[in-house]
Structure 1
Amino acid sequence: MSGLIALLDDVAGIAKVAAASIDDVAGQAAKAGAKAAGAVIDDAAVTPKYVQGFEAKRELPIIGRIAWGSIKNKLLILLPIALLLSAFAPWLIAPLLMLGGSYLCFEGAEKVWHWLFPHEHTWDHAEHDEGDPAHLEEEKIAGAIKTDFILSAEIMTISLAAIPESGFWMEAATLAVVAVGITVAVYGSVALIVKADDVGLYMARNGRLGLTQALGRGIVSAMPGLMKLLTVVGTAAMIWVGGSIIVHGLHELGWHAPYDLIHHAAVAAAQAVPQAAGFVEWVVTAGLDGVVGLALGVLIIPIATRVIGPIWAAVFKGRA
C-alpha cells in the first residue's frame, strides 16, 4: 500500500510539473504573440481580399485552405528553421528580425504613399478575373499562402526573439502554440469578417422582429467602414511595430542613439503628465517608432518597387 501511495505521489508531482510547464508555455506564447501584433493585424487585414469575387458558399472553404497552408508554413517550415537559428546561429536572429521589420515598414509606407498619391493599377483584371473559377480559386489560394509565408516568417521571428532563454523543447512548444494560436485567431477573425455581411443580410431579410432586421441592416452598412478601419489600424500597426523592431535592433547591434533619443523623449513626456505617465510614455514611444518606420519605409519604396520587385517577379514567373 505504501508503494502505491508513493507512486501516486510521484504521479501527482509529475502532473504539477507538467501543469507548470504548460502554464509557462502559455504565458510565453501570449507574450510572444503580443510582440507580433503588427504582422498579425496585417495578416487579418490582407486576407479578406482573397475571397472577393467568389460565391458566398466558397468563401469559408477558401479561408480554411489558406489557414491550413498557414499552419503548414509555420509548423513544417518556419518552426524548424527558427529552432535551428536559436540553437546554432542566435546572432542571426536580430538581423533577420530587422529584415522583417524593414518589410513591415515598407508595406505600411507603401499603403500610406498610395493613399496620398493614388495612381491607376496596372493589374489586368481581364486576365485574372475571367476563365475557369476553379483555376482562379487555386491561383488565389496559392498567392495567399505565399503572402502568408512572408507574414508568418515575421511572426515566428518576432516571437522567437521575444521568448526568454529556455530549453529546446520549451522554445519548440512555445513557438508551436504561437503558430497555432495566431493562425486560429487570424483566420477565425477573417471568417467572421467575411461572413458578417451575409449574416447581416440574412437578419435584415428574415428577422421576425424589427430590432433584428434593423441590426442586420446596421451590420451590412457597417462592414465597409469596418474594413477600412481594419486597414488603417493594420497599416499603423505595421509601421509602428516595424519601426520598433528597427530601433531595438540597432540598439542591440551597438547604435544606441535612436533608442536613447526616443526613450528620453518618452520619459520626459511622461513626467509632464504624471497622472497618466505609463500611457503617455507608451504613446510617445509608439509614435516616434512609427515616425522611424514610416521614414525607413518611404526610403525602401523605390528600391523594392524598381529593383527587388521586378527581380522577384522574374524569378518566380520563370519557375511557374
Structure 2
Amino acid sequence: MAGASLLTLLDDIATILDDVAAMSKVAARKTAGVLGDDLALNAQQVSGVASERELPVVFAVAMGSFKNKVILVPMAMLISAFIPWAITPLLMFGGLFLCYEGFEKVYHSLTHKRAPVIDDDAVVAKAKADIEDLAAFEKEKIKGAIRTDFVLSAEIIAISLGVAAHMDLMGQFLTLCVIAIVITVGVYGLVAGIVKIDDLGLYLAQRKPSGIGHKLGLGLVSAAPYLMKILTFVGTIAMFMVGGGILTHGIHVVSEWILHAETLVSQVSVVGDVLGLLTPSVLNALFGVVAGGLAVLLMNGVTKLLPAKD
C-alpha cells in the first residue's frame, strides 16, 4: 500500500510539473512583446556606466528584478485566490498599457528631435566631472532600471497569471515562479551579453592587427549600436502585437471578427496558409496601435486639463 501511495504521489507530481512546463511555455510566448522591450530598455539603462562596472551594475539590477518578482508573485496569488474576477480586467489593463507605452514611444520619437549620440566614454567623463561620488551615479542608474523593471515585471506576471488562470493555486504559483526565474535570468543574461558586445569586438580587433579576428571585432563594434536599434524596433512592434492580442481576446466581437478574417484569407490559393498565419498578428498589432493612440490622446487631454504645477 505504501509503495502504491508513493507511486501515485510521484505520478501526481509529474503531472503537475508537466502542466507547469506547458503553461510556462505558453506564458513565455505571450510575454514576448514585454521581453523585447525589457531587453532594450535595460541595455539602455546601463549605458553611461564605466566599461569595467557594466557587469556589476547589470547584476545589481538583476537582483533588484528578483526582489520585484518576490513582491509581485504573492500579490498575483492573492488576487487569484480572493478576487479571481479581477484577473481579466487587470490583464486587459496590462494590454492597454503595453499599447499606450508602445504608441507613446513612437509618438515621442516622431515629435522630438533626436539627441546627439554620445559614446559611453564621454558620458562617463561627464559623470566624473559633474558628480563627486561616482558610486551615487551608479546607484541612480540601478534605481532607475529597477523601477522600469517593476513595471515590465508586473505586466509579465499579469500575462502569465492570465495564461495559468484555469490551473489550481499550486499550479499557478509554480508557473509564475518558473516564469519569474527563467525570464529574469534570460533577460539579464542577454543584457550582460549585449552591453559587452562592443568590448568583445574591441578585444578581438586589438588582439591582432589583421585577419578574421580583427575584422570580426570591428564588425561587432560597428554592429552594437544597430543591435540596440533593432531590439527597440522589434520590441515596439511586439508590444503592439501582444497588447493588441490581449485586448482583442478580451473583446468577443473583435476576436470573432479577426477569426473570420483569418478564415477568409486562408482560402486564398497558394499563399492562403501563410496569410492565415500572419493575419491575426497583423490585425492584433493594428488594433494595438489604434488603442495605444486613443490612450495617448486621452492621457494628453487629461494632462492638459490638470492645473499646472508651480
TM-score range, shorter chain: 0.7 to 0.9
Secondary structure of the equivalent of 1:190?
helix
Cα distance, 1:310–1:149 mapped onto 2, change above 3 Å? farther
Query: Are 2:80 and 1:86 aligned?
Result: yes
| Offset of residue 216 of structure 1 | 1.2
Cα distance, 1:273–1:109 mapped onto 2, change above 3 Å? farther
Aligned length: 295
In structure 2, how many angstroms separate the alpha carbons of the residues matched to 1:133 and 1:302? 40
2:228 paired residue number? 227
1:61-100 alignment, distance < 5 Å: 61-74=56-69, 76-100=70-94
Secondary structure of the equivalent of 1:218?
helix
1:298 paired residue number? 293
| Residues 214-255 of structure 1 deviation map (CA, whole Å, 9 limit, x = unaligned) | 11111111111111111100000011111111111222xxxx
Q: Return 5+ residue gaps in structure 2 as ranges.
A: 116-122
Secondary structure of the equivalent of 1:272?
coil
Secondary structure of the equivalent of 2:108?
helix
Secondary structure of the equivalent of 2:112?
coil
Q: Is the 8 A contact 2:265 2:272 kept in 1?
A: no
Decide which moves more: 300-309 or 147-156.
Answer: 300-309
2:241 paired residue number? 240
| Residues 171-216 of structure 1 deviation map (CA, whole Å, 9 limit, x = unaligned) | 1111100000111111111111111111111011114871111111
1:108-147 alignment, distance < 5 Å: 108-119=102-113, 129=127, 130-131=130-131, 132-147=133-148
1:318 paired residue number? none
In structure 2, how many angstroms separate the alpha carbons of the residues matched to 1:59 and 1:309? 40
Cα distance, 1:140–1:304 mapped onto 2, change above 3 Å? farther
Decide which moves more: 163-172 or 15-24.
Answer: 15-24
Residue 151 of structure 1 aligns with an amino acid whose one-letter code is L
- TM-score (normalizing by structure 1): 0.84
Residue 67 of structure 2 aligns with an amino acid whose one-letter code is K
Residue 241 of structure 2 aligns with an amino acid whose one-letter code is W
Q: Is the 8 A contact 2:95 2:243 kept in 1?
A: yes
In structure 1, how many angstroms separate the alpha carbons of the residues matched to 2:266 and 2:279? 9
Q: Is the 8 A contact 1:196 1:219 kept in 2?
A: yes
| Offset of residue 274 of structure 1 | 5.5
Residue 108 of structure 2 aligns with an amino acid whose one-letter code is H
- TM-score (normalizing by structure 2): 0.87
In structure 1, how many angstroms separate the alpha carbons of the residues matched to 2:190 and 2:299? 30
In structure 2, how many angstroms separate the alpha carbons of the residues matched to 1:245 and 1:99? 9
In structure 2, how many angstroms separate the alpha carbons of the residues matched to 1:163 and 1:274? 37
Among candidates 101, 106, 118, match of residue 107 of structure 1 = 101
| Offset of residue 63 of structure 1 | 0.9
| Residues 125-167 of structure 1 deviation map (CA, whole Å, 9 limit, x = unaligned) | 9xx9531321121111111111111111110010011115222
In structure 2, how many angstroms separate the alpha carbons of the residues matched to 1:41 and 1:310? 34
Cα distance, 1:58–1:87 mapped onto 2, change above 3 Å? same
In structure 2, how many angstroms separate the alpha carbons of the residues matched to 1:160 and 1:21? 16
Residue 105 of structure 1 aligns with an amino acid whose one-letter code is C
In structure 1, how many angstroms separate the alpha carbons of the residues matched to 2:303 and 2:90? 17
Query: Are 2:285 and 1:284 aligned?
Result: no
Q: Return 5+ residue gaps in structure 1 as ranges.
A: 1-5, 315-320
In structure 1, how many angstroms separate the alpha carbons of the residues matched to 2:9 and 2:85? 35
Residue 256 of structure 2 aligns with an amino acid whose one-letter code is D
In structure 2, how many angstroms separate the alpha carbons of the residues matched to 1:137 and 1:310? 37
Decide which moves more: 45-54 or 24-33.
Answer: 24-33
1:36 paired residue number? 31
In structure 1, how many angstroms separate the alpha carbons of the residues matched to 2:2 and 2:22? 30
2:167 paired residue number? 166
Cα distance, 1:209–1:273 mapped onto 2, change above 3 Å? farther
Percent identity over the alignment is 42
Secondary structure of the equivalent of 1:42?
helix
| Offset of residue 67 of structure 1 | 1.0
In structure 2, how many angstroms separate the alpha carbons of the residues matched to 1:186 and 1:276? 36
Query: Are 2:263 and 1:267 aligned?
Result: yes
Secondary structure of the equivalent of 1:166?
coil
In structure 1, how many angstroms separate the alpha carbons of the residues matched to 2:15 and 2:151? 33
